[in-house]
Amino acid sequence: MPPTQAECVIKNIIREIGQECAGHGEIVSETLAAFVVKAVVLDPSNGFNMDRPLVKSDVQKLVKLCVSRLLDSKNPSLDTIKMQVYFDMNYTSREEFLEEHHRVLESRLGSVMREITDNRACAREELESLYRKIVSYVLLRSGLGSPTDIKIVREATAALQSIFPQAELGTFLTLSKKDKERQLKEFTMIVTGIRLFNRDCGKGGEGIDDLPAILREAIPATTQHIDSQLQTAQDQAYRYTAILEKAASNPLPSMELQPSMLKEALYNVRQYEIFLQIILSDIITCAQEVELMIKQLGAQLEQLKMIVKSKTAVPTSQVFPIFIALSNLWTSFQDEIVLISVLSN
């Protein structure tokens, strides 16, 4: 769909603003320029009529006002706008962030998976090589240790062999690509569950970090850091408010105080406070999720112990679903690790 005339005009305005700012040594992104254009146009004091198209004089006035605002480094309002733009461009909901994170992980695994699903191994050496690739894929997908660490590879191989012996590769190769992909994901979850269970029993878990413990330490530290910044922002806001109230009651000295600048500074710190509260809210959600998952992890491991207790053989129908549940829980722990690392930066 071709852009409308209005869209073309706005794009030209944004481009002109960028060029004007660059001429003054200030590099301005198109996003920031667009944000300022919107703010200037919507400000009633600037006198733009939204019900009629912009004429040449309007465009010139708009560009001048926007450039002036973007070059006014002493005015806190510019920092406020930059903060809003940065937050809007970079901050997403938990769901959106994790969805994108998983998409990136899947794309990284794509080539490894294709090497397996497109494989036409026949000779013994080729089949052995394919099996090693499956082990590597399982490790990469699970995120539980490096596929170049011999101890980790041996442990993962042993777990995989217990559910998918190398002798079954022939059957695997006859499957459709979609079924191969499904099986690979299932193998990963079951192997992950086995390794997590063995780790809990003290019989394995090489290269597996204690994510619940890491999170229980990282979340309070991150909360404390954000709380500290929030307290500082609130203290600043109270000070600015007190000064403005004093200036309002005694207008003569306020000429030196520049109330308009103080108001902009107050808006800036209040905006910062709002963003910090959003981040803090997400950290609290992380904490709640982690505590719930820790309980679920303990319950699943305990259930497994009860099932396999003093038994030489256990039906796969009983243990595989729990191994898969353990794997899914661990993936959630990994998600929270990524989230908290982003929120703490």
Distance in angstroms (rounded) separating the CA atoms of residues 194 and 303: 13
Name, in order, each residue with C-beta under 8 angstroms of 106's C-beta and a sequence gap of 6 or more: none
- Whether 81 contacts 268, CB under 8 Å: no
Q: Which alpha helices (DSSP H) does the chain contain, by range?
A: 5-23, 30-42, 56-71, 76-90, 94-117, 124-142, 150-163, 169-173, 177-200, 211-249, 254-257, 259-308, 316-343
Mapped onto helix, strand or coil, the DSSP state of residue 214 is helix
pLDDT in tens, 289-334: 999 999 999 999 999 999 888 677 788 889 999 999 999 999 999 9
- Mean pLDDT across the chain, nearest whole number? 91
Using pLDDT thresholds of 50, 70 and 90, give the confidence band for residue 55.
Answer: confident
Say what angle helices 76-90 and 259-308 make with each other, to 10 degrees.
20
CB 289: neighbour CB atoms within 10 A?
A: 18
Q: Is 257 helix (H, G, I), strand (E, B) or coil?
A: helix
The predicted pLDDT at position 312 comes to 72
Alpha-carbon span 61 to 196, nearest angstrom? 65
What gap in Å lies between CA 219 and CA 223, rounded to an integer? 6
Q: Over the stretch 246-272, which tens digit does the pLDDT of each residue have?
A: 877 776 555 566 778 889 999 999 999
Tell me how far CA of residue 94 lies from CA of 8, 89, 141, 281, 316, in angstroms.
35, 15, 21, 11, 35
Does position 157 have pLDDT exceeding 80, yes or no?
Answer: yes
Residue 87 and residue 275 in contact, taking contact as beta carbons nearer than 8 Å? yes
